[in-house]
């Protein structure tokens, strides 16, 4: 999987991948996949999990992580725990990961996986991602792993000045990924990355 990821990233002109590839090579991706789908977990494709959600393609995980630029001292908020794989990758690159999931089944399974592989700096919550986690804000980085129709102001307000957010946004029939750098309370720098597909970001607890 790692060799194929490097090929794909190189084709896309992404070269700053060594640290992320090293981390992804150490995490057993198959444990986050449903029983019977373990081998598929290492293919460059998303994997269907409970609640009609998906474990993102390892290429998407790699790109989101590389673009987010996680640092050893960062406190990161993840919206959409899903299988727990993305949070696990981030946990080896930063200080703390707070991850929110609206589906109780996914939340409980991911929490169990985190314990199984002894990740002590990942803090999972069953919570509406649109609300963020105000009592732990501000965050150095925020990563959203599901496609939203807009950038939630609540999440922007929980981002440090100088912090970064990665969020997939819906555009007609496709998604694009946006990187937002918070320059001040009302000033932002934005970049767009095309060619991605994500499950929708929804409100409430399920």
Residues 6+ apart with CB under 8 A from 130: 152, 154, 155, 201, 203
Hunting for tokens 């070269």 — which residue is that? 15
Q: Would residue 201 count as lying in a domain?
A: no
Structure-token pair, residue 71? 């640092």
Q: How many domains does the chain have?
A: 1
User: Residue 205 falls within a domain, yes or no?
Assistant: no
What is the model's pLDDT at position 197? 66
Tell me what the mean pLDDT of segment 169-186 comes to. Answer: 86
The answer to the question of residue 100 being in a domain is yes
Of 43, 67, 53, 17, the C-alpha closest to 176 is 67
Cβ contact 127:104 at 8 Å: no
Q: What is the pLDDT of residues 77-121, one digit of tens each?
A: 999 999 999 999 999 999 999 999 999 999 999 999 999 999 999
pLDDT exceeds 90 at position 6: yes
Residue 20 within any structural domain of the chain: yes
Residue 57's pLDDT band (cuts 50, 70, 90): very high
Is position 204 within any domain? Answer: no
Active site residues: 56
User: What's 13's domain CATH number?
Assistant: 3.40.50.150
Please spell the DSSP secondary structure of 106-166, one letter per residue. HHHHHHHHHHHTT-TTEEEEE--GGG--GGG--EEEEEE-SBBSS--HHHHHTEEEEEEEE
Q: How far apart are CA 49 and CA 33, in angstroms?
A: 7
Asked whether residue 170 carries a pLDDT value surpassing 90, the answer given is no
What domain range includes position 143? 2-196
Q: DSSP class of residue 95? A: S
N-term to C-term CA, the chain: 33
pLDDT over 80 at 172, yes or no: no
């Amino acid at each position: 999987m790692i060799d194929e990821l490097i090929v794909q990233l190189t084709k896309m002109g992404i070269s700053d991948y060594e640290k992320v590839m090293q981390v992804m090579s150490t995490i057993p991706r198959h444990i986050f996949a449903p029983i019977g789908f373990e081998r598929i977990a290492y293919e460059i494709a998303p994997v269907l999990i409970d609640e009609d959600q998906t474990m993102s393609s390892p290429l998407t995980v790699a790109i989101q992580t590389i673009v987010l630029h996680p640092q050893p001292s960062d406190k990161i908020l993840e919206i959409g725990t899903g299988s727990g794989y993305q949070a696990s990758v981030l946990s080896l690159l930063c200080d703390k990961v707070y991850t929110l999931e609206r589906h109780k089944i996914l939340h409980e399974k991911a929490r169990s996986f985190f314990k199984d592989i002894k990740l002590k700096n990942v803090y999972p919550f069953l919570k509406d991602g649109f609300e963020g986690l105000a009592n732990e804000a501000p965050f150095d980085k925020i990563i959203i792993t599901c496609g939203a129709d807009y950038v939630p102001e609540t999440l922007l307000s929980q981002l440090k000045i100088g912090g970064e957010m990665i969020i997939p946004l819906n555009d007609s029939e496709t998604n694009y990924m946006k990187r937002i750098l918070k320059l001040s309370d009302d000033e932002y720098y934005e970049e767009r990355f095309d060619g991605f597909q994500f499950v929708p970001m929804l409100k409430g607890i399920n």
